[in-house]
Amino acid sequence: MGATTRWKLILVIAVFAIGAYYLWPTYNYYFRMTPEQQLAAKDMRGKIIHLGLDLLGGMHVVLEADLTEVPKDQAADALDRVVEILRNRVDQFGVAEPVIQKQGADRIVVDLAGVQDEAAVRNLIGSTARLEFRIVVPPAVANNVVTRLDRELALRGAGIDSADMRPFSGKFGVFYNAQYGVPTGAFVRDSDVPAVTGLLAQAKEAGIQMPEAEPLWELEPRTIANTPGRILQFVNRNVELSGDLVTNAERRFDLDYERPNAAGVSMTFSNRGATRFAQVTKANVGNHLAIVLDGVVRSSPVIRERIPGGRASITGSFSDQEALVLATVLRAGALPVNVKIAEERTVGPSLGRDSVHSSLVAAAWAAVATTLFMIFWYKGSGVLAVVAMVLQIFLLLAGLAALRGTLTVPGIAGIILTIGMAVDANVLIYERIREEIRNHKTVRAAIDSGYKRAVITIVDSNLTTLIAALVLFQYGTGPIKGFAVTLSIGLFANMLTAVLFTRMVFDLITSRRRLETLSI
Amino acid sequence: MQFLVNTNYDFMGKRNIALAVSAIATLIAIGSLIAHGGPKYSVDFTGGSFVEVRFDRPVDTADLRAAMTGIGLGGTEIQKVGTESDYIFRMPEAEVTAKTRELLQGEIANPYGLIEHAVKKQLPEVRSELRRQETVGPKIGSELRDRATKAVLVALVLMLVYIALRFPGLSFAVCAVIALFHDVILTIGVLSVLGKEVSLTVLAALLTIAGYSINDTIVVYDRIREELKAHRREPLDQVINRAVNLTLSRTMLTGLTTILSLIALLIFGGTVIHDFAFTLLIGVLWGTYSSVFVASALVVTWEKWRATREAGQQGRRRERQAARPA
C-alpha cells in the first residue's frame, strides 16, 4: 500500500465516520423509537432529517397582510404582531411543531405538519377575529334604510325582482316580517342572496350613505315558510364593545337551552369590559345585541335585562371544531390588520402516506434495476460501482442531516437523479478503462489513464449540473428548493464515492498483486 | 458484456438528415405552442385552485361536471388520475372566493369545501377525502413565473460562460446551448401536444433536463477536445465523428440506466411525482438523441460554413487550418 493510498483510505474512513455520526440520530428516531418516544425526544429535533409536508401531510400557507392602512413606520411592527398572534392561535389549537415566519415586507409563511382538518386551520389562521358587540336598530329604522336603498338603486337601474315575496314596494325584493319569527332584519331567499350581495356592493361603490345602520349578513341559514334563505341584519354603526376587552374564551356545550349539547363559545370580559357590558345591556333592554365577528353576525339575542357578570356567549350552528377555532382566535386576540391567504398547499394524510410508500418503492426498483444492470455489464467492477452507489446515498443522507435539511418528494427525485449521475460517472470511467485495455495497456496503466481522462469529464459535467442546482436553490421556491438541495449534496457525495472511493479500491487491489485481467 | 465498441458510424456525413429531423420536430413543437397560445401553465403560474380528491366509490366524470355546474362552477376542469377513484379539479381563483362566500358563508376561499358541497347535492351517497389542494393567488402566480424565468435565464448564461471558458472557440458554447434549447423546446413541445401542463415541478424537471443535456454534450465535447489535440492534421468532421463513436457506448449506457430509473419513478412514484418523471423521461430521450446527432453536428456545420466563407476571402491554402476552431 502506497502512502497516497493510505491517506486516501484514512480520508474515506474519516468521511464515513463523520457521516455515520450525523446519520445516527435520524436512524434512531425513525427506526428504533415508538411514536411516544419520538414525541418525547424534543432534543433530537435539530439533529434529524425532517420529512416535508408533502410526505407527512400538512399545510403550507402564505398569508398576505393588508398594510395599506398602517403608517409605513409601523408596518413592520404590525407584521410582527400578526406573527405573534398567529403563533398563539396555532399553539393553543395544538398543532405540533408549527413554523411561522415573515417573508418579505407583507407576507407570513405558516407550515403545519399533520393537519387533519384543513378547513378549521384555514379559519384559525386566516380570520382577523375582529369581535364587535353592536346594537341591532329597531325595525322602523331598518325599514327606512331598505326603502332608501331601494329607491337609490332603482334610480340607477339596478335591483332584483322577486314578485312572490315583496313586502317593500321597490325592487330590492327582501322579505321582512316579524310574524315568521324574524324579529329583526330582512329575510332573503337563497336564490336572491347573490343579487342582494351585489346590490349592497353597488350601493357602497355608488357612495350611498347609510349613517343610521350597516347591513350585515347573519352566519346561520334560516328556513321560513319552507324557503331556505339568510337574514340580513341592520346594526348600529356604533361599536359598543370590542374583542380586546375579552380576557378568556372557551368552547362549551351547555350554553343553549333549546339545543342541549350544542357547541358554543363562552367569553369572559376584563373588569373594564364587564362594567361597559353592564352599562350597554342596561341601556338597551328590549333591543337585540348583534355579536359581529369579521363583519358577519354570529348571533343577535334580545337583551332581557342588565347583565352584570362580565360574561357573554355565542351560540348558533357551530360544529364542535368551529367552536374550538372561534374560542381559540378570541383568546389569542384579533389581528391588527386583515390578512388574505395568498397561497395554500395542503397534502392530506393519506396522500402523504402514499407518497412515502410510492417513493420508497420507486427508489427500490430504480436501485434494483441499476444494480442488476451494472453487475451484468461490468461484473466485478460493477459490484464496486454498486457499493459506491450505496455509499453515495449514505453520504447524501448524512449531508442532509448535517444541514438540517428536509426531505420532500422533489428531494427524493433529486436523490434518484444523483444516483443516475453516480452511475454515469462509473460508466464513463469503466468504458475508458476498457478502451485502454483494448489498446493493449496493462491493467494498472489502463486504470490509471482511464481515471485520469474520465475525471476531467466528470468534473465538467458535475460542475455544470451544480451550477443549475445552485441557481434553482437561489431562485426556486418550496418544492424546487428541496430538489436543488439533495441534488447539490448528491453531486459532492458523487465525487467522493464514484471517483475517489472506487479509485482507492482499484489501487488497493492492484497494489497487492499484478493483475493480468480485470473483471470489467 | 459490451456493445457499440469500435463502431465507426458516419454520423457527421448524415448530419444534414439529423438536423432536418430536429428542425421539423422543433417546428411542430413551436406550431403546437402557437396553436395552444403558449404552454399550458398550471395554477402555480396562473393563480387558481388545484384540488385532488379521492372518492370512496367509482364516480362518473360527467356526474362530477354536472355537480360543479350545479353550484355555478361549470368552468371547473375535471380529470381522473391514478388507479383509484381520484379526481383533479382546477378552478379559477376569483370564482372560488365568490362561491365560498355565497355557498359556505365563509370569508376565506375554500375550494375543497365547494367540491364537497357540490358532490353532496348531486351524489348524496358518495363520500370524499381531500388528497391535496393548492391555491395560488394571482399575484404570487405572476411572481413565481418571474422567478422561474429569471432562474432559467441565469442558469443558461452561467452554463454558457462555463463552456465558453472550458472549450476552444465560441462554436462549442453556442452549439451546446442550441442543443440545450433543442432538448427543452422539444420536451415542452411534447407536453403541449399531449395537453399536459407546466407546473413548478415540471419546471424543475425542465431545468434538470437542461443540466442533463449540457452534461451529455460536455462528455462528447471533452472527447472531441482530446482527439483534436491528438490528431492535429485530420479534418474536423472526421475527428468529431470519431469522438462521437468513441463515446457512443457511454452515451447509450447512461441513457439506458437513467431511463430505467425514470421508468421506475413513472410506474411506482405516485401522482405527485408522475409529471416530473414523465417530463424528465421525454427530456432524457431528446437529450441522448441530441448529444449524438445535434450538438456535434452543429459544430461541424458551423466550422465548415466559417471555413468556406474565409476560404472565399483568403484562398484554398488556409482552408484546413480555418476548419479548426481557434
| Whether residue A362 is found in the same domain as residue A491 | yes
| Whether residue B231 is found in the same domain as residue B293 | yes
- Element (H or E) spanning B145, and its range? helix B138-166
| Whether residue A164 is found in the same domain as residue A255 | yes
Report the side by side order of strands in the sheet with A264-269.
A246-252, A264-269, A311-314
What confidence score (pLDDT) does residue B146 get? 85
Confidence of residue A175 (pLDDT cuts 50, 70, 90): very low
| Whether residue B37 is found in the same domain as residue B52 | no
Q: How many domains does chain A have?
A: 2
Nearby residues of A514 by Cβ (< 8 Å), 6 or more positions away: A443, A444
What are the beta bridge partners of residue A290?
A134
| Residue B210 located in a structural domain | yes
In chain A, which residues have their Cβ closer than 8 Å to the Cβ of B164? none
SS3 content of chain B, % helix, strand, coil (to 5): 70, 10, 20
What are the beta bridge partners of residue A108?
A63, A102
- Say yes or no for a CB contact (<8 Å) between A193 and B102: yes
| Whether residue B292 is found in the same domain as residue B163 | yes
B137 touches chain A (CB under 8 A): yes
| Whether residue A316 is found in the same domain as residue A463 | no
| Residue A57 located in a structural domain | no
CB-count exposure of residue A225 (10 Å: 0-12, 13-18, 19+): exposed
Mean pLDDT of A325-333: 86
> In the block, which residue shows the cell 434494483?
A368
Q: Which three cell numbers stand for residue A392?
A: 453515495
Which among B1, B110, B136 is the nearest to A376, CB-wise? B1
What confidence score (pLDDT) does residue A170 get? 39
Q: How far is A195 from A160, CA to CA, in rounded Å?
A: 7
| Whether residue B247 is found in the same domain as residue B297 | yes
Q: Which of A4, A301, A474 is nearest to B152 (CA)?
A: A474
Single residue among B121, B136, B151 that ends a domain in this structure: B136
| Whether residue B242 is found in the same domain as residue B301 | yes
Please give the residue range of the domain that contains residue A455. Answer: 3-45+348-512
| Whether residue B212 is found in the same domain as residue B230 | yes
Q: In 10 A of CB A60, how many CB atoms?
A: 21
What confidence score (pLDDT) does residue A162 get? 40
Residue A22 has pLDDT above 90, yes or no: yes
| Whether residue A136 is found in the same domain as residue A21 | no
| Whether residue A323 is found in the same domain as residue A174 | yes
Q: What are phi and psi of B296, to 5 degrees?
A: -80, -40
Which among B136, B219, B261 is the nearest to A366, CB-wise? B261
Mean pLDDT of A486-511: 89
Packing angle of the helix pair B169-193, B200-230 (nearest 10 deg):
150
The interface predicted TM-score of the complex, written ipTM, equals 0.81
| Residue A242 located in a structural domain | yes
How far apart, in Å, are the Cα atoms of A222 and each of A134, A219, A226, A390? 21, 10, 10, 65
> In the block, which residue shows the cell 474512513?
A13
- Say yes or no for a CB contact (<8 Å) between A472 and B204: yes
Task: Give per-residue pLDDT as tens, A313-328.
Answer: 887 777 888 888 888 8
- Say yes or no for a CB contact (<8 Å) between A477 and B144: yes
| Whether residue A313 is found in the same domain as residue A271 | yes
Mean pLDDT of chain B: 86
What confidence score (pLDDT) does residue B188 get? 94
| Whether residue B293 is found in the same domain as residue B147 | yes
What confidence score (pLDDT) does residue A156 get? 65
Residue A157 has pLDDT above 70, yes or no: no
| Whether residue A358 is found in the same domain as residue A412 | yes
- Say yes or no for a CB contact (<8 Å) between A355 and B159: no
| Residue A96 located in a structural domain | no
| Whether residue B313 is found in the same domain as residue B286 | yes
Mean pLDDT of A145-162: 64
- Say yes or no for a CB contact (<8 Å) between B276 and A410: yes
| Residue B203 located in a structural domain | yes
| Residue B106 located in a structural domain | yes
- Say yes or no for a CB contact (<8 Å) between A341 and B109: yes
Single residue among A333, A366, A391 that ends a domain in this structure: A333
Interface of A with B in 1-60 (CB under 8 A): 54
Inter-residue contact A262 to A251 (CB < 8 Å) = no
Q: Which three cell numbers stand for residue A490?
A: 448528491
| Residue B6 located in a structural domain | no
Q: Any idea what the CATH number is for the domain that residue B132 is in?
A: 3.30.70.3400
| Whether residue A417 is found in the same domain as residue A440 | yes
C-alpha neighbours within 13 Å on the C-beta side of residue A457: 31
| Whether residue A352 is found in the same domain as residue A238 | no
Single residue among B136, B161, B180 that ends a domain in this structure: B136
Q: How far is B59 from B276, CA to CA, in rounded Å?
A: 27
Task: Give per-residue pLDDT as tens, A70-121.
Answer: 888 888 888 998 999 999 888 888 777 788 999 888 899 999 988 878 888 8
| Whether residue A358 is found in the same domain as residue A307 | no
Q: How many domains does chain B have?
A: 2
Overall pTM surpassing 0.95 (yes/no) = no
Mean pLDDT of chain A: 83
Q: Any idea what the CATH number is for the domain that residue B267 is in?
A: 1.20.1640.10
DSSP code of residue A175: B
Q: What percent of chain B has pLDDT over 70?
A: 95
What confidence score (pLDDT) does residue B46 get? 87
Query: One-letter amino acid identity for A144?
Result: N
What confidence score (pLDDT) does residue B54 get? 93
Inter-residue contact A430 to A385 (CB < 8 Å) = yes
Chain B residue whose CA is closest to A479? B201
- Using DSSP's 3-state secondary structure scheme, residue A317 falls into coil
| Residue A144 located in a structural domain | yes
User: Which of the residue ranges A39-43, B124-128, B214-218, B223-227 would you say has the lowest mean pLDDT?
Assistant: A39-43
Task: Give per-residue pLDDT as tens, B191-211.
Answer: 999 989 898 888 878 877 887
| Residue B66 located in a structural domain | yes
Mean pLDDT of B253-259: 87
Single residue among B76, B101, B136 that ends a domain in this structure: B136
| Residue A410 located in a structural domain | yes
Interface of B with A in 242-271 (CB under 8 A): 246, 249-250, 253-254, 256-258, 260-261, 264-265, 267-271
Single residue among A303, A333, A363 that ends a domain in this structure: A333
Dihedral sign for Cα atoms in the order A175, A178, A181, A184: positive
Q: Which three cell numbers stand for residue B115?
A: 367540491
- Say yes or no for a CB contact (<8 Å) between B211 and A460: no
Three-state DSSP string of B210-230: HHHHHHHHHHHHHHHHHHHHH
| Whether residue A327 is found in the same domain as residue A353 | no
Q: Any idea what the CATH number is for the domain that residue A260 is in?
A: 3.30.1360.200
Interface of B with A in 23-52 (CB under 8 A): 52
User: Which of the residue ranges A206-210, B52-56, B101-105 would you say has the lowest mean pLDDT?
Assistant: B101-105
Q: How far is A418 from B241, CA to CA, in rounded Å?
A: 29
Nearby residues of A70 by Cβ (< 8 Å), 6 or more positions away: A78, A336, A337
| Whether residue A399 is found in the same domain as residue A492 | yes
Residue B318 has pLDDT above 60, yes or no: no
| Whether residue B21 is found in the same domain as residue B88 | no
Interface of A with B in 457-486 (CB under 8 A): 457, 460-461, 463-465, 467-469, 471-472, 474-480, 483
Mean pLDDT of A331-339: 86
DSSP code of residue A495: I
What confidence score (pLDDT) does residue A178 get? 45
A123 touches chain B (CB under 8 A): yes
Q: What are phi and psi of A218, to 5 degrees?
A: -85, 145
Nearby residues of B293 by Cβ (< 8 Å), 6 or more positions away: B11, B15, B18, B21, B22
User: Which of the residue ranges A330-339, A394-403, B252-261, B309-318 would you say has the lowest mean pLDDT?
Assistant: B309-318
What confidence score (pLDDT) does residue A226 get? 75
A417 touches chain B (CB under 8 A): yes
CB-count exposure of residue B168 (10 Å: 0-12, 13-18, 19+): middle
Inter-residue contact A182 to A231 (CB < 8 Å) = yes
- Say yes or no for a CB contact (<8 Å) between B154 and A475: yes
Q: What are phi and psi of A243, to 5 degrees?
A: -65, -20
What confidence score (pLDDT) does residue A166 get? 42
Single residue among A291, A307, A333 that ends a domain in this structure: A333
What confidence score (pLDDT) does residue A173 get? 43
| Residue B4 located in a structural domain | no
Residue B317 has pLDDT above 70, yes or no: no
- Using DSSP's 3-state secondary structure scheme, residue B177 falls into helix
| Whether residue B182 is found in the same domain as residue B241 | yes
What confidence score (pLDDT) does residue A171 get? 40
Residue A411 has pLDDT above 60, yes or no: yes
| Whether residue B167 is found in the same domain as residue B294 | yes
Task: Give per-residue pLDDT as tens, B283-293.
Answer: 999 999 998 88
What confidence score (pLDDT) does residue B156 get? 80
Interface of A with B in 234-293 (CB under 8 A): none
| Whether residue B165 is found in the same domain as residue B108 | no
Q: Any idea what the CATH number is for the domain that residue A390 is in?
A: 1.20.1640.10
| Residue A25 located in a structural domain | yes
Interface of B with A in 174-233 (CB under 8 A): 200-201, 203-204, 207-208, 210-212, 214-215, 218-219, 222-223, 226
- Element (H or E) spanning A250, and its range? strand A246-252
Q: Which of A430, A489, A485 is nearest to A454 (CA)?
A: A430
What confidence score (pLDDT) does residue B21 get? 92
Please give the residue range of the domain that contains residue B54. Answer: 48-136
Any alpha helices (H) in A439-520, and if so which ranges? 443-475, 478-494, 502-512
Q: Tell me the pairing of strands A50-51 and A406-407.
A: parallel
Packing angle of the helix pair B236-246, B248-268 (nearest 10 deg):
50
Confidence of residue A399 (pLDDT cuts 50, 70, 90): very high
